[in-house]
Amino acid sequence: GDSVTQMEGPVTLSEEAFLTINCTYTATGYPSLFWYVQYPGEGLQLLLKATKADDKGSNKGFEATYRKETTSFHLEKGSVQVSDSAVYFCALSDYGNKLVFGAGTILRVKS
């Protein structure tokens, strides 16, 4: 079945550091790919998405490119802030809307 694997955390960075969180997927079809974020004490919210190969999703300085050849959707940000501290989930949606999530990666940004 479909699955998502993302790098284990926690990831601890200093403010203004470069962020990469790796995500790879397995799917039978041509899924849409998502990054969701969960800030402390808040619900899951969509960060960005890409619906086809080579699409780049971007939001709030975060970017991810849908790479079909490597089945990856790595999340990047050039300069993280303390306010980016959260749990980040990579997810896919294939044939029928339900989301399949990775286990999540905790990001801690220190000032």
Partner 1 sequence: GAGVSQTPSNKVTEKGKYVELRCDPISGHTALYWYRQSLGQGPEFLIYFQGTGAADDSGLPNDRFFAVRPEGSVSTLKIQRTERGDSAVYLCASSYGLASDTQYFGPGTRLTVL
- Chain positions contacting partner 1, by CB under 8 A: 4, 32, 36, 42-46, 49, 51, 89, 91, 93, 96-104
Whole-number minimum distance, CB 17 to partner 1, in Å? Answer: 25
Whole-number minimum distance, CB 16 to partner 1, in Å? Answer: 28
- How many CB atoms are located within 10 Å of the residue 1 CB? 7
Q: For residue 57, give both structure tokens.
A: 């999703």
Whole-number minimum distance, CB 46 to partner 1, in Å? Answer: 5
Torsion of CA 77, 6, 94, 70, to 10 degrees: 80
Residue 80 or residue 104: which is nearer to partner 1 going by CB?
104
Residue 97 or residue 111: which is nearer to partner 1 going by CB?
97
Task: Give the Cα separation of 19 and 80 in Å (integer).
Answer: 7
Residues 6 or more apart in contact with residue 6 via CB below 8 angstroms: 21, 22, 23, 24, 88, 89, 90, 102, 103, 104, 105
- The amino acid present at 56, given as its one-letter code, is K
Whole-number minimum distance, CB 65 to partner 1, in Å? Answer: 16
